[in-house]
Amino acid sequence: MKTVHNFNAGPCALPQQAVDKAIDALKDFAGTGMPVICVSHRSKEWSAVMDECRALWKELLNIPDTHEVLFLGGGASMGFLYTAMNFLENKAGYLETGVWAKKALKEAKGLGNAYAVASSAETTFNYIPKGYEIPSDLDYFHITTNNTIYGTEIHEDIDCPVPLIADMSSDIMSRPVDVSKYAMIYGGAQKNVGPAGVTFFIVKKDLLGKVSRYIPTMLNLQTHIDGESMFNTPPVFPIFVMTETLRWVKELGGVEAIYKINKEKAALLYDEIDRNSLFVGTAAKEDRSIMNVCFVMAPGYEALQDEFMAFAKERGMVGIKGHRSVGGFRASIYNACPVESVQALVDCMKEFEALKK
Quote the strand ranges of 73-174, DSSP E: 91-96, 113-119, 140-144, 146-147, 152-153, 164-167
Burial class (CB in 10 A: 0-12, 13-18, 19+), 30: middle
Q: Which of 167, 171, 248, 287 is catalytic?
A: 167
Can the peptide bond before residue 11 be classed as cis, meaning omega within 30 degrees of 0?
A: yes
Angle at 257 between CA 251 and CA 259, to 5 degrees: 130
Catalytic (active site) residue 46: no
HSE, CB side, 13 Å, CA atoms: give it for residue 317. Answer: 23
Separation between Cα atoms, residue 331 and residue 320, nearest integer Å: 5
User: Across the chain, which distance is largest between two alpha carbons, in Å?
Assistant: 65
The active-site residue out of 21, 46, 57, 100 is 100
Do residues 92 and 116 make contact, with C-beta atoms less than 8 angstroms apart? no
Is 265 among the residues known to form the active site? no
Rounded distance between C-alpha atoms, residue 337 and residue 58, angstroms = 24
Helix count and strand count (H, E) for the chain: 9, 14
The residue annotated as part of the active site, out of 21, 191, 204, 265, is 191
Instruction: Please choose, from the candidates 294, 291, 292, 299, the residue with its C-alpha nearest in 3D space to the C-alpha of residue 283.
Output: 294
> How many Å is the Cα radius of gyration of the chain?
21
DSSP 199: E
- Is 191 labeled as catalytic in the residue annotation? yes
Which residues carry out catalysis? 100, 167, 191
